[in-house]
Structure 1
């Protein structure tokens, strides 16, 4: 483990930039799609909900990366965070559990 990782645990600056850029792109896609088709119809509340979910996911991934456990456990925790995002997103989108 490098001294930078010991002093600054969690995601690297590059990984953090990629993560938040990906989340921004996920929010931009429906905004752009709404300009070209009536099939995508998000309201302000949809964007707020998506931003909240993505923000909590980013926080969860950061906390998983900072956790004092082995690499495998951190990867498992990160996978669970992403799985939780996908399940909640699917429930909000199509009522997966209704």
Structure 2
């Protein structure tokens, strides 16, 4: 008898301040990596699926992003110069890093 299956792992990569594409609020977004691994006898052997997503902490909206977009967002979060993150499929800007206090005039 062989016992096999899958197990999911969720990693929080960064917390970024972006303007949400859903609600329009400047809020914290978590950048997450979800890895699904094949298991044999309850031992995880190798990953067969890796997905990246951001989630708005204000409204809860979640958007899938590519690995390249996740890398760009990580670089923005660490202050390294990089391009802008883009939403999946539409080529439109997903969010901009928030600079300073947006409510200060």
Identify the TM-score tier after normalising by the shorter chain.
Answer: under 0.3
Structure with higher RCO (Cα < 8 A, 6+ apart): 1
Higher strand share: 2
Higher helix share: 1
Q: If the length of structure 2 is used for normalisation, what is the TM-score? A: 0.27
